[in-house]
């Protein structure tokens, strides 16, 4: 058990077969008390309940600073001192560059990038006081190589922004004992990607993956577990690929 005594927040964990849910489940199995935050509060509660006793589901819109602050205060009060934050909430829009309006840009940047900043700002004072804490930001292979049929160029930009934010926070916060790392998943079969693919599209995607298969939510959860645990005590500012070799 790698996370005994840890209290972890996973944002965007309400999606039944998403990366956040798989991460929350693995963290709970490894001994952490887990708070699932999602803008869909009912889904967050249902997923937290599925983890068993001692976990929490809370409504939180990561684009709203007050909502982030209130959720973090509620987790501290009900589960105890937070040790770990996984910034996983995200949205995509399958658009080409000339189709991206100002509203599209705001929506995608707000959830992915602003949300990561606001949630981090909500926990950093607590982590700083305790001189300990781990932040894990979910970026994407779309940040590294662009493209991808689901994301859109503004999604790639937001996810690349997350990599910059991760490195800047890692550098600034290392002296305070806080580690900040990013995970870059490749194509993972979840609600964001699932159900929208023809067999030809899937064949084309798999052809670009050296390991010859799409990823599973559990593949990403395993990486988050490493970065949340003391096994990664000397890792900060890193960008870990979980993509079957699609960006080598």
Give the catalytic positions in this structure. 155
Tokens of 10: 């996973």
List the x/- string, 57-86, binding to ligand NAD by CB under 6 A: ---xxxx-----------------------
Of the residues 6, 25, 39, 179, which one makes contact with ligand NAD according to CB under 6 A: 39
Question: Alpha-carbon distance 87 to 110, whole Å?
Answer: 13
Enumerate residues 6+ apart whose C-beta is below 8 A from 143.
156, 159, 160, 162, 163, 184
Q: Is 116 in the site for ligand NAD (CB under 6 A)?
A: no
Q: How far is CA 240 from CA 136, 137, 138, 226, in A?
A: 10, 10, 10, 11
Q: Is 14 in the site for ligand NAD (CB under 6 A)?
A: yes
Which part of the chain contacts ligand NAD (CB under 6 A), choosing from 34-42, 120-128, 169-177, 225-233? 34-42
CA distance 216 to 43: 21
Q: Is beta strand 84-87 parallel, antiparallel or unpaired with respect to 33-38?
A: unpaired
According to the binding rule CB under 6 A, does residue 111 interact with ligand NAD? Answer: yes
| Residue among 174 and 201 whose Cβ is closer to ligand NAD | 201
Q: Give the residue at shortest CB distance from ligand NAD.
A: 90
Q: How far apart are CA 145 and CA 221, in angstroms?
A: 22
- For ligand NAD, what does the binding mask look like between residues 167 and 206, x meaning CB under 6 A? ------------------x-xx-xxxx-------------
Is residue 118 part of the contact set for ligand NAD (CB under 6 A)?
Answer: no
Site residues (vs ligand NAD, CB under 6 A): 11-12, 14-15, 18-20, 38-40, 60-63, 88-91, 111, 115, 138, 140, 185, 187-188, 190-193
């Amino acid at each position: 058990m790698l996370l005994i005594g840890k209290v972890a927040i996973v944002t965007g964990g309400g999606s039944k077969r998403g990366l956040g849910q798989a991460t929350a489940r693995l963290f709970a199995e490894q001994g952490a008390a887990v708070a699932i935050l999602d803008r869909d509060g009912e889904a967050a509660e249902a997923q937290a309940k599925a983890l068993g006793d001692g976990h929490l589901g809370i409504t939180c819109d990561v684009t709203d600073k007050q909502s982030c602050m209130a959720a973090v205060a509620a987790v501290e009060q009900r589960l105890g001192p937070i040790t770990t934050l996984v910034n996983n909430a995200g949205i995509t829009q399958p658009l080409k560059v000339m189709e991206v309006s100002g509203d599209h840009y705001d929506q995608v940047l707000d959830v992915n990038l602003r949300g990561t900043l606001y949630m981090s700002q909500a926990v950093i004072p607590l982590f700083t006081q305790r001189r300990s804490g781990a932040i894990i930001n979910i970026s994407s292979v779309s940040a590294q190589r662009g493209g991808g049929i689901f994301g859109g160029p503004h999604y790639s930009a937001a996810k690349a922004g997350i990599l910059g934010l991760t490195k800047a926070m890692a550098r600034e916060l290392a002296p305070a004992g806080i580690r900040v790392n990013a995970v870059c998943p490749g194509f993972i079969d979840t609600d964001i990607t699932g159900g929208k693919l023809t067999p030809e599209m899937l064949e084309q995607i798999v052809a670009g993956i050296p390991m010859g298969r799409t990823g599973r939510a559990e593949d990403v959860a395993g990486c988050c577990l490493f970065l949340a645990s003391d096994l990664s005590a000397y890792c900060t500012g890193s960008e870990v690929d979980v993509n079957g070799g699609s960006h080598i």
